Amino acid sequence: MTAVSRIADIQIFDQLRTQATGLEASLAGLQAQVSSGKRFQTADADPLAAGQVLRTDTAIGALGQYSSATQFGTSVLGAEDSALGDAVQIMTRAQEIATEQANGTVTASDRAAAAEEVHGLLQALTSIGNTELSGRRLFGGLALDAPAPFASPDSAGYDAATAYSGSTQGFEIKVGSAPSERVRISTSGDAVFTSSLVALQNLETALRTNGDVAGQITALQQGQQAISTEQTSVGARENQLQTLQSQQSSLTLDEQTTLSNLQDADLASVLSQLTQGQVALQAVLQAGAMIAQTTLAGLLKL
Amino acid sequence: MAIDPTLGIAAHALIVDQAALGVVGNNIANVNTPGYTRQVPVLSAASELGGGTFHLDGGVLLQSVQQILDPFVAKRLLAAGSDAAQKSAVSTQLTALVSQLDDLGGSSLTTLLGGFFSAAATVSNQPQDTAARQGLLGAANALANEFNRRSAVIAQLQQNADAQIVGDASQANNDLVQIAQLNDDIARELAQGGQANGLRDQRQQVLTDLAQKIGITTQEDPTTGEVTVASAAGPVLVTAGTVVNAITTQPDPTNPATLGGNTLHKVVLQAPSGALVDVPAVFASGEIGGLQQVRDGDLFTASQNLDTLANALATAVNAVQTQPGAVDLNGNPTTGVPLFGGTTASTLTVLITDPSQVAAALSTQPGDNQNALALADLASAVQAPLGGTFSGYAASETARIGANAQQAQDLASASQGVLQQVQSQRDSLSGVNLNEELTNLLSFQHAFQASAQVISVVNSTLDDLMQIVT
């Protein structure tokens, strides 16, 4: 290009306009960064980062969901753990009674009293089996507002072996993205309590009918074992959920850091750019005013 | 003897200087007129003034008032204008698409997809809770509404682009008519010995406007001053005072890119006989070209991809909701009770209004949540038609549309830079510089004063002579 030897007035003012509007646009962009705290406001400003922001947002949302499921699971398993602990106590007491009453020296009235106590234990264990947490049957598939899964020992024709009528469906929560990342938080009342209930009912019957009390001890031990085994499993799953929860918080923190790196404006730098831009705009406008004054018309007394 | 010619020379110089001052005045008056080409009076010394025995040089002549311009720069300016208008149209449309989809603002599709699957996960935790089920339906409705909104936004942008194409085509045709008329006017003025400077500037402005609509080439006849305008793709549009091929539009119901409810138009040439000639290449550049590119390309693709996502979502969610064994809150099979209706973004609806109809269970056991878990699992499942997850696809689409807009903005900014560069070259040569004009003003003013002084001196010499005689 040949050297420009001549400048038209329209060029001077066009250039002034272009520079001033360009600076004003960049100032507006910087101001938007300051007011929103975000480096870009629309996807066209940084498409790659915009896509990543959305993916990270999705990941944070999913982690939030896993975390709330984990919390829910922890509270359910905690309640189960404590209820199963109570159940173990009941079975321990039942074995004590059976051992005492198996002794040949006990009287008929002792046995009657013991039978009453065992009946109370049967009621208590049934009641544990029917525990509700926020309206949901802890040992009945976590069904909401459902009828008691275990029939009352005082109901007509009670048979401990068939007392359970609740759900046999396991209840799982989703704690990760893959379909396999699920944790069972339900405990089937049928599987856990029925042998104990049967053992208690048999013990009560033996006490009332002066039957073979000693012969019930093994069944009581087996029932308690089933409950203890489940309690151990519940405890293990509680631990698993606690570990997951801490992983989830740490992952969420990582994702939030990623998100922040992707989209947060560097305020210190933006503010300094804003100041620089304002100075530049002032300079351009001042230069324009000075150029506008340097016309021959101003110097001549025409 | 020599007195008479001197008076004549001075008197003529006064007229020439006045005319020159007029030219300077005209330049000054048009200092800010876009497209104005500065003019200079071309003066020459008259060779000889006839009569008598003396041979005296004959004063000054105003030969012509010449426009200072470079025809090559003018042509480059038209080409740069076409290119800048095309790139700018694409950039404006794609930027509008990004801003109206508002992915990083309040209406992100990924956020709503996340909300939907999160609501499904909440149902899996509380399968019998009506509030949780209601939450899922609410999230489904929000998602369907956003799909509908996006589809409408894209269709509306396509409609707007089409309306702008129709308007541009009509404007371009007006330009052709004006150019033909100005060709006539210029030829007439030149035939009468004039220079038609103002008319040329006017015609150049119309050509500039036309070039922004469609790419053109121009060829000026040096004798008649008439310009022949042809499309950059070949066909002649205007020769002399005749519009050879007019520009018009007609509805194009077969355009495969047509989005719901829109009627798109095709820009065609129209011969004086009235016959329509479809030459797509003529309208592939300029603003019309850019608008067509967005209308039939980018917007259509965005709409199709949105439909693909909506359809994949409805299909996958309904497959879970209606799978064999799935039951609602009351234990009734949901085989015939899909959650979503519609197969496109614009038609996507939520069919279920009763929250109990959401199939959370795969058995009639109370509290079963197996189907709600299956629904929640869809969030991170790779969908064959999408080649990824729902939200991953939506995020990629945001990035794709954003990248296209960014690229269009960069191209627009580059072509604008080229246009400014050429414009600056043109202005540098043809634009008015006030200081230069003021200097010329002084120079002609002084010349005028001097010539007046010559008359005054001649007059006083004549007086002296008269006194001697009397």
- Other CB atoms within 10 Å distance of the CB of residue B442: 14
d(CA B102, CA A117): 70
Contact: A10, B400; criterion CB under 8 Å: no
Question: Looking at the structure, do residues B286 and B368 belong to the same domain, yes or no?
Answer: yes
pLDDT beyond 80 at A299: no
pLDDT band for position A87 (50/70/90)?
very high
Q: Output the pLDDT for position B1.
A: 44
Question: Looking at the structure, do residues B311 and B166 belong to the same domain, yes or no?
Answer: yes
- Per-residue pLDDT tens digits for B135-193: 999 999 999 999 999 999 999 999 999 999 999 999 999 999 999 999 999 999 999 98
Interface test with A, best of B70, B109, B427, B440 (most A CBs within 10 A): B427
Q: A298 Cβ partners below 8 Å, 6+ apart?
A: none
Q: How far is A135 from chain B (nearest CA, A)?
A: 11
Residues 64-83 of A with CB under 8 A from B: 64-65, 68-69, 72
Chain A residues near residue B423 by CB distance under 8 angstroms: 14
Collapsed DSSP state (helix, strand, coil) of residue B289 = helix
**Which residue type does B164 have?**
Q
Chain A residues near residue B25 by CB distance under 8 angstroms: none
- Other CB atoms within 10 Å distance of the CB of residue A273: 16
When CB atoms are compared, the residue of A42, A169, A178 closest to B380 is A178
- Looking from the CA of B236 toward its CB, the CA atoms found within 13 Å total 12
Q: How far is A165 from chain B (nearest CA, A)?
A: 10
Residues present in chain A in total: 302
3-state secondary structure B372-426: HHHHHHHHHCCECCCCECHHHHHHHHHHHHHHHHHHHHHHHHHHHHHHHHHHHHH
d(CA B386, CA B402): 19
Chain B residues near residue A166 by CB distance under 8 angstroms: 366
d(CA A145, CA A193): 21
Count of domains observed in chain B = 2
Token representation of residue B393? 């696809």
Sign of the Cα torsion A100, A104, A110, A111 reads positive
φ, ψ at A8 (rounded to 5°): -85, 150
d(CA B166, CA B181): 23
Question: Looking at the structure, do residues B421 and B439 belong to the same domain, yes or no?
Answer: no
Token representation of residue A194? 């029925």
Q: How far is B105 from chain A (nearest CA, A)?
A: 8
pLDDT band for position A3 (50/70/90)?
low
Q: Output the pLDDT for position A222.
A: 94
Q: B403 Cβ partners below 8 Å, 6+ apart?
A: A44, A47, A48
d(CA B380, CA B183): 68
Which stretches does DSSP call E strand in chain A?
Answer: 132-133, 136-137, 172-174, 182-184
Residues 63-82 of B with CB under 8 A from A: none
| Structural domain range at position B252 | 71-430
Contact: A54, B121; criterion CB under 8 Å: no
Q: Which of B365, B379, B123 is nearest to A62 (CA)?
A: B379
Token representation of residue B295? 């209308």
When CB atoms are compared, the residue of B102, B104, B442 closest to A53 is B104
Q: Is B373 on the interface with A (CB under 8 A)?
A: yes
d(CA B229, CA B208): 12
Question: Looking at the structure, do residues B160 and B129 belong to the same domain, yes or no?
Answer: yes
Complete DSSP assignment for B29-93: HTTT-TT---EEEEEEE-S-B-SSS--B---EEEEEEEE---HHHHHHHHHHHHHHHHHHHHHHH
Q: Output the pLDDT for position A272.
A: 93
Mean pLDDT of chain A: 90
Question: Looking at the structure, do residues B335 and B195 belong to the same domain, yes or no?
Answer: yes
Pick from A9-18, A145-154, A245-254, B68-77: least confident? A9-18
Collapsed DSSP state (helix, strand, coil) of residue A38 = strand
Question: Looking at the structure, do residues B138 and B47 belong to the same domain, yes or no?
Answer: no
Question: Looking at the structure, do residues B377 and B397 belong to the same domain, yes or no?
Answer: yes
List chain B residues with pLDDT less than 70.
1-4, 48-57
Query: What residues are paired with B40 via a beta bridge?
Result: B66
d(CA B65, CA B67): 7
Question: Looking at the structure, do residues B218 and B305 belong to the same domain, yes or no?
Answer: yes
Distance from chain centroid for Cα A146: 25
For the segment A179-196, the average pLDDT, to the nearest whole number, is 92
Q: Output the pLDDT for position A288.
A: 84
Question: Looking at the structure, do residues B410 and B443 belong to the same domain, yes or no?
Answer: no
Whole-model pTM: value is 0.87
d(CA B413, CA B423): 15
User: Could you give the domains of chain A?
Assistant: 49-260 (1.20.1330.10)
- Looking from the CA of B365 toward its CB, the CA atoms found within 13 Å total 20
What is the count of residue pairs from A and B with beta carbons less than 8 Å apart? 202
d(CA A273, CA A34): 11
- Per-residue pLDDT tens digits for A93-132: 999 999 988 877 888 888 899 999 999 999 999 999 999 9
For the segment A258-268, the average pLDDT, to the nearest whole number, is 91
Q: Are B444 and B26 in contact (CB under 8 A)?
A: no
Question: Looking at the structure, do residues B84 and B216 belong to the same domain, yes or no?
Answer: yes
d(CA B453, CA B445): 12
When CB atoms are compared, the residue of A7, A143, A297 closest to B433 is A7
φ, ψ at A150 (rounded to 5°): -100, 130
d(CA A259, CA A241): 26
φ, ψ at B318 (rounded to 5°): -65, -35
Residues 22-41 of B with CB under 8 A from A: 31-32, 34, 38
Question: Looking at the structure, do residues B195 and B254 belong to the same domain, yes or no?
Answer: yes
d(CA B207, CA B199): 12
d(CA B40, CA B22): 10
Q: Are B403 and B42 in contact (CB under 8 A)?
A: no
Q: Are B392 and A62 in contact (CB under 8 A)?
A: no
Q: Is A259 on the interface with B (CB under 8 A)?
A: no
Q: Output the pLDDT for position A1.
A: 43
- Other CB atoms within 10 Å distance of the CB of residue A64: 15
Burial class (CB in 10 A: 0-12, 13-18, 19+), A7: middle
Q: Which of A205, A190, A234, A239 is nearest to A111 (CA)?
A: A205
- Other CB atoms within 10 Å distance of the CB of residue A32: 16
Question: Looking at the structure, do residues B35 and B108 belong to the same domain, yes or no?
Answer: no
